[in-house]
Structure 1
Amino acid sequence: MKKRKFGLALSLVLAAGTILGACGSDEGDSKKGDEKKKTENFKVGLVTDTGGVDDKSFNQSSWEGLKKFGKEFGLEEGKSYRYLQSEKEADYIPNLGKFADGGFNLTFAAGFLLEDAVQTAAEQNSGTNFALIDSLLMDEDFKPVFLDNVAAVTFEEHQGSFLVGVVAAKQSKTGKVGFIGGVDSPLIKKFENGFKAGVKSVNPDMEIIAQYAGDFNKPEKGSSIASTMYTQGADIIYHAAGGTGNGVFTEAKNRKKNGEDVWVIGVDRDQHEEGMPENVTLTSMVKRVDVAVYEISKMAMDGKFPGGKESLFGIKENAIGIAESQENVSKESLKLVDEYKEKILKGEIKVPKTDKEFAEFEKSL
């Protein structure tokens, strides 16, 4: 009798386990189904500035981050993730609108030049999320504007620029270096002032020549400015000029062919290849726009889009630093870079972003 009761009890337990297991399986399948549906229905786009998606710099890094995200989550390129290239400023708003009209969940705008266009598009398409890379939305009084469907993705470029400034000061043989910016703006001033601070921290007597091209897509202008700087004695030039910076590499390579010992410091991504075959890239200030694009895309897909606030990426987030290609950087320079990086992380050095902050920084040296 006891055996029969035990057998019955065991049967009931096994049956219950089977039912619960089936329920658990259904629940698991349901979750997987929801995840798959969430991924399949997610669409993300990128609108470039006029520098183009193959600028070997900022826009290209943005697209690389989006491609990594798309491939990792099985999205179809051209359908679920894609880019639209802006040939002129007038293309910004229409391109942003195309993604909104196409049902894209998130649209990235590559660069501060799209600031006004993003604000207009976001106000016209409240159901679409936008991410403005490199800038905050501003009102007429230059005060930040925060919209719930816009995430401001910014970087601490001045920190990385400081580090390549350290390398430039350590390895310059002429005691004179140059900086070429694209458009004179608060953003590019961060590159300039961070670089100058790094240079002066190593050698306060170093001479720095700085000039702006007024455009991010004029390589011939970059080449012309670089030619003047090299002629004036600068042996290292750091550019933060997008496609215009390609002209700096051209000028450096031409001079290297003629036996001159000149160098370029790249920007935004590792630009080692841009200096080949003459090998003129000393190092690059790596700004991992690709990391930021990937992270913001994933947050949006997971329902955690950081709209209405600023998302800041710097050394601490491994989004700012110097390039992995270091064959032309001396061991002494790398050691010094690590020392200064620690000082920045610990708050012992506050890297200047503006002309005023740099003037105060220079006085403290």
Structure 2
Amino acid sequence: MARTQYRGARRRLAAAALASTAALVLSACGGGGAQTQAAGSPTESGSSVAGETATLVSIQPVNDKGVMQDFVAGFEAATKEVNMESNVVVLTDPSTYESTLESVSGRSDLVFTTFPPMIQAVEKVAPKHEDTRYVLLDARLSEPIDNVQELFFRENESSYLAGIVAGEMTEANKVGFLGAIKQDVIDRYLVGFHAGVKSVDPDIKVCFAYVGALNDPALGKQFANTMYNQGVDIIHAATAGTQVGVYQAAEEQEKFLISADVDVRPLAPNFGLTATGPDFSGAAKLAVEQYAAGDFESGLQVYGLADGAVRILPFNDDLVSAEVQQKVEEAKQQIIDGSIKVPDDKSVGDIKNCA
């Protein structure tokens, strides 16, 4: 069904529901699984989506100094720009994923949700709400759904560049990778990083581990300290909110860190080299803009270095030489023009730990 056929009705339902959004969401989730905040309100405008409602459902804290903080910033800025009502719901209990998504779907025109743990909820809820559009961040459905966009990134391409930095700068010939949890998104970071390191020197050892948590800084610090103590002198971490502890370990151990997704320099100013990953803020803006323009596309939307949607973030120029930065730029262009083919998460099983 074309969005223009239901936009007016949706706007009226959204306006009626927003006055009690927080109470309704918490009630639908049994009271204990969600935290709701109004992210923005529309201003008078000629926008065709003014007064419609966008809701972001996150399964990890949105003030994580990482992925979600960046994504929420883009979501809030974009919805404000097109004058949509916007809300952010943070889930802490997996048993509430489906019920919360069901609740917000009934009064939202556009729903964002995040990462593979939400796949099952989206697959159950979205087909029942044909007039709602969904954006699933960094995850793949088992089968396409007509009103769901799967916003997917080639993190392996940007992490390949992280591997070049680590390969060029390691003095121990032993580098490490820390992932938050074992899933295809994190595997892409690992596979790309491993390939980039080995492109510099096949004899450099790449050790890896999964912390098992998206938001446990103490555990992240523990894992990073263990890895540094085992002789690794550079870690590439893709650990979401857990990454705060990895920053602390790098600074205290005085060993290098390559972060993921957000600028590492203010977070690990003395030993943070750079960061790689998707432009989550830009991705959120792109999806909102597509919806507002009537150009929402369901199905798999894949973005990589060539699209500017994944990238290597600014270097700490005091730590990363101009020569290394130039090698990274050359590799980036070779990935974009296709002369370097970066393996993806399907090859993760081929990687041997600390080899």
1:18 aligns with none
| Structure 1 letter corresponding to 2:307 | E
**Cα drift, residue 358 of structure 1:** 8.0
User: Structure 1: where are the runs of 5+ without partners?
Assistant: 1-33, 139-144, 257-261, 361-365
**Cα drift, residue 38 of structure 1:** 1.4
Question: Residues 50-199 of structure 1: matches in 2 within 5 Å?
Answer: 51-75=60-84, 80-102=85-107, 104-138=108-142, 145-199=143-197
Note if contact 1:182-1:241 (Cα within 8 Å) is conserved in structure 2: yes
Q: Distance in 2 between matches of 1:94 and 1:55?
A: 24
1:44 paired with 2:48, answer no
Which among 337, 341, 351 is matched to residue 350 of structure 1?
Answer: 341
Q: Deviations over 1:231-271 (max 9, x none)?
A: 11111111111112221112122223xxxxx0111111223
Q: Could you tell which deviates more after superposition, 109-118 or 160-169?
A: 109-118
Note if contact 1:111-1:133 (Cα within 8 Å) is conserved in structure 2: yes
Note if contact 2:177-2:208 (Cα within 8 Å) is conserved in structure 1: yes
Q: Distance in 2 between matches of 1:356 and 1:110?
A: 24
| Structure 1 letter corresponding to 2:193 | F
1:270 aligns with 263
Residue 120 of structure 1 aligns to a residue whose secondary structure is helix
| Structure 2 letter corresponding to 1:126 | E
Which among 286, 289, 296 is matched to residue 298 of structure 1?
Answer: 289
Q: Deviations over 1:118-176 (max 9, x none)?
A: 112202322211110001111xxxxxx11111000000100000001101111112111
Note if contact 1:56-1:271 (Cα within 8 Å) is conserved in structure 2: no
Which among 291, 304, 311 is matched to residue 321 of structure 1?
Answer: 311
**Cα drift, residue 97 of structure 1:** 2.5
Q: TM-score, normalised by structure 1?
A: 0.80
Q: Distance in 1 between matches of 2:191 and 2:74?
A: 27
| Structure 2 letter corresponding to 1:47 | V
Compared with structure 1, are the counterparts of its residues 209 and 40 closer, same or farther at alpha carbon in structure 2 (3 Å cutoff)? Answer: same
Q: Distance in 2 between matches of 1:222 and 1:133?
A: 23
Which among 233, 243, 250 is matched to residue 252 of structure 1?
Answer: 250
1:223 aligns with 221
Q: TM-score, normalised by structure 2?
A: 0.82
Note if contact 2:187-2:348 (Cα within 8 Å) is conserved in structure 1: no
**Cα drift, residue 58 of structure 1:** 1.6
Q: Distance in 2 between matches of 1:202 and 1:181?
A: 22
| Structure 1 letter corresponding to 2:195 | A
Residue 46 of structure 2 aligns to a residue whose secondary structure is helix
Q: Higher helix fraction: Structure 1 or Structure 2?
A: 1
Q: Distance in 1 between matches of 2:188 and 2:109?
A: 31
**Cα drift, residue 325 of structure 1:** 4.2
Percent of residue pairs bearing the same amino acid type: 29
Which among 264, 277, 280 is matched to residue 286 of structure 1?
Answer: 277
Larger radius of gyration: 1
2:301 aligns with 311
Note if contact 1:44-1:81 (Cα within 8 Å) is conserved in structure 2: yes
User: Structure 2: where are the runs of 5+ without partners?
Assistant: 1-43
